Amino acid sequence: MNELAEVKRAVEAKRSAEEGYRASLAAAVARLQAAGDKQPYATVANAAGVSRQAVRELVKRHAGDTDTTSDEARMRARLAELDAAYERAIDRMTDRAGDYKRITAWQNAQAGKRRRKGLPPLTPVSVQLRDYAESRALKVLEDFPDDPRVKRIIADLDEAATLRKTLQAIDDSRLAF
């Protein structure tokens, strides 16, 4: 229990440090834009307490458009939230109660033989169990499309797919594809 509290404190400290760094970068870019890009990056970076490269990259990447940045951050946060909920649901459905030592031992015994023959390694039992749980979950979604809980899950999956497409388009536009 004490270790969990320490981990939570460490994560919170890291998060607050990152937020402070982002705020410093935003302040640096605001100063640079207020000066009409006439102020050198070094001056802005020193005033904000960040590196010149960070200021230069931020100016290049966002070119003064902070609204899309916040929208993108919100989209990425929502996508992470939806993905985490899906992973938790699949993990709850995964059967971990069995004794899979014999199967794992057999797979380990076969690993060298398969490697020598140039065959791909066998899929670990944990991955097989997760795949099975995911296929069961998808079967439930197909079998009960009128259930309100299933409708909510499908809506979340559709929202995640839409967010992925949108974020992919944003990333591609940055790379000029």
CA dist., res. 7 & res. 5, Å (int): 5
Of 31, 64, 97, the residue at which a domain comes to its end is: 64
The answer to whether residues 73 and 120 belong to one domain is yes
13-54: per-residue pLDDT in tens?
777 767 776 666 666 666 666 665 556 667 766 766 667 776
Q: pLDDT above 70 covers what percent of the chain?
A: 66
9 and 55 together in one domain: yes
- The average confidence (pLDDT) of the chain is 79
Do 77 and 161 lie in one domain? The reply is yes
Is the pLDDT at 112 greater than 80? The verdict is: yes
Residue 106 and residue 28 share a domain: no
Q: Name the more confident of 45 and 151.
A: 151
Asked whether the predicted pLDDT for residue 168 surpasses 80, the reply is yes
Instruction: Give pLDDT tens digits for 90-101.
Output: 988 887 777 788
Residue 88 in tokens: 């938790």
Owning domain of residue 12: 1-64
pLDDT of residue 164: 92
Residue 134 phi/psi, 5° resolution? Answer: -65, -40
Residues 60 and 99 in one domain: no
Q: Give the span between the Cα atoms of 174 and 69, in whole angstroms.
A: 12
